[in-house]
Structure 1
């Protein structure tokens, strides 16, 4: 599926002089798609360009990312991706042929994907402290779900286990709908959900929100403590993110233009409000995306060893 964002394109030799294609490795309608289309709109406006958004779903974003990696590094094929295919999947997908730290040019962090640690209503916990005590007293009795092996929620759950010194059984699902159904129905004990996914379940009394996976409290959910506030989870922080990247070898002058466009666009109050309302707090655009990728990849590498994660578990 493709869509078009058009600015008043002028004939010019300088970049951009032809349409820019943004590849999104997921189907239309999800959070990566939504943020990617906001990015497309920003580039169309700030660069006075035509931007075509192309959805290439498959393998948690890897199929789309590979297409960008294989493209000419001229700034006309870009990846609007996430922490999955730009950091996590490298460690669990044997079929992945690219290394995001080597084969992509990091452009800009665009938004955050904060998550919540939640419990099914059937589990006798109301706070993070309740959870830690229950899990420590009952190793292996309780389960937590993720939308797939190698997903950010999967790694986030394993980091909870590693940091707090507890053992929960991981149950991977093929996507979030089945997971949230089991959680709400009492067949799954814990899970990591986005604020937007958690809200209706919490309002209906099917789950309890225990804490945020972010380093500090989420701005729109100040009443929910960060997991790191609990002594057993001190230093805990692992959330998803969204970013713009290009193939390896992008010319520096093109990189600078793209980064300036993203920073200017993300400073727009209307853009920031749109991303906030969708549960994806905007970045500033001037963060070091390369450092963000390295930091998370280091965490993922440790967690793969800790949990003995393979493509099958």
Structure 2
């Protein structure tokens, strides 16, 4: 009886060691086939464009194609949920904006995933500051001018964004709180209409990406008053950061895109992907392509990115709670 038990135990140990060896070999050899990169928005948008630029460069580093799959819907949650449910083997990744990973959990009661539990952070990819602009004919040339206008025109001062609860909306609400003003939020479904309505004087101001407003700034149709990052951006070096204003010290509401894998993805696979992302973003040619879009390479180690995510999530939660923002 003992002999049979010993043989059975040896067999189990042999099989277990074989499985461990096979898994270790597979991780060392990773990747051996194309990698799917889920983008939770439509093709042609900011996240999609960054995904395709970075994905093409990752192909050269990893030796496998990066296949972008657009899964828009439910404020980015459809794509994120699909990524969370995928096999944690490194062959399905998610390029998430701040919304899916740090905003939506505080905005939607029916969210079906917890980013801190269900996603493995690989690296922050880019930061995407927004720009606060007004109609160039408004006579406003600074944040002080906008604040003064808002205080004397509280009934009609407004700002637009591309949706309830996104970083642009949160940027405006934080301005309201820190400057003690009340710009009424007007949400749109995309950047084009929100900028158009600034030009048509239907809203006072808008927060939008550099890419969305660059041509209007260059044409002299809108005036850039500030950027929402903690520092000035290379694309608009003469435009101050919001935080430079005495009433707005510490202000920083920046959108960002980060790379994630499903929770449970082996550490060696996450580390290999992180090193590949850092290598790609360190390439000056790639960095310039991204910067031209107003997206600034900001790679982090997995643990650093995890801490960054927690800090951002808490910041967004605070803005949402204080402003009593409700999903629509």
Instruction: State the TM-score, normalized to the length of structure 1.
Output: 0.91
**1:64-93 CA distances to partner (integer Å, 9 max, x unpaired)?**
111001111111100012111111122223
Output the CA distance in 2 between the equivalents of 1:83 and 1:201: 26
Counterpart of 1:217 in 2: which secondary structure? Answer: coil
Partner of 1:308: 324
Instruction: State the TM-score, normalized to the length of structure 2.
Output: 0.87
Does residue 235 in structure 1 map to residue 250 in structure 2? yes
Partner of 2:311: 295
Output the CA distance in 1 between the equivalents of 2:156 and 2:139: 13
Output the CA distance in 2 between the equivalents of 1:15 and 1:289: 22
**Structure 1 residue 28 displacement after superposition:** 1.0
Q: Write out the 4+ residue segments of structure 1 that deviate beyond 6 Å after TM superposition.
A: none
Work out which of the residue numbers 280, 283, 291 in structure 2 matches 1:265: 280
Does residue 78 in structure 1 map to residue 125 in structure 2? no
Does residue 45 in structure 1 map to residue 60 in structure 2? yes
* Aligned ranges 1:135-214 → 2 under 5 Å: 135-214=150-229
Output the CA distance in 2 between the equivalents of 1:120 and 1:292: 35
Partner of 1:277: 292
Normalized per residue, the structure richer in helix is 2
Counterpart of 2:138 in 1: which secondary structure? Answer: coil
Work out which of the residue numbers 94, 103, 114 in structure 1 matches 2:118: 103
Output the CA distance in 2 between the equivalents of 1:172 and 1:207: 19
Partner of 1:118: 133
Q: Is the 8 A contact 1:91 1:150 kept in 2?
A: no
Q: Is the 8 A contact 1:111 1:281 kept in 2?
A: yes
Q: Is the 8 A contact 2:192 2:212 kept in 1?
A: no
Q: Is the 8 A contact 2:210 2:293 kept in 1?
A: no
Does residue 35 in structure 1 map to residue 50 in structure 2? yes
Q: Which has the larger radius of gyration?
A: 2
Partner of 2:103: 88
Output the CA distance in 2 between the equivalents of 1:195 and 1:43: 25
**Structure 1 residue 284 displacement after superposition:** 3.3
Structure 2 unaligned regions, length at least 5: 1-24
**Structure 1 residue 19 displacement after superposition:** 1.8
**Structure 1 residue 122 displacement after superposition:** 5.0
**Structure 1 residue 285 displacement after superposition:** 4.0
**Structure 1 residue 178 displacement after superposition:** 1.9
Greater mean alpha carbon deviation, residues 195-204 or residues 241-250: 195-204
Q: Is the 8 A contact 1:68 1:247 kept in 2?
A: yes
Partner of 2:72: 57
Output the CA distance in 2 between the equivalents of 1:271 and 1:201: 25
Counterpart of 2:257 in 1: which secondary structure? Answer: strand
Q: Is the 8 A contact 2:41 2:70 kept in 1?
A: yes
**Structure 1 residue 154 displacement after superposition:** 0.7
Q: Is the 8 A contact 2:93 2:260 kept in 1?
A: yes
Work out which of the residue numbers 250, 253, 256 in structure 1 matches 2:268: 253
**Structure 1 residue 203 displacement after superposition:** 3.3
Partner of 1:5: none
Change over 3 Å in CA distance of 1:193–1:254 after alignment to 2? same
**Structure 1 residue 220 displacement after superposition:** 2.2
Tell me how large the CA RMSD over aligned residues is: 1.6
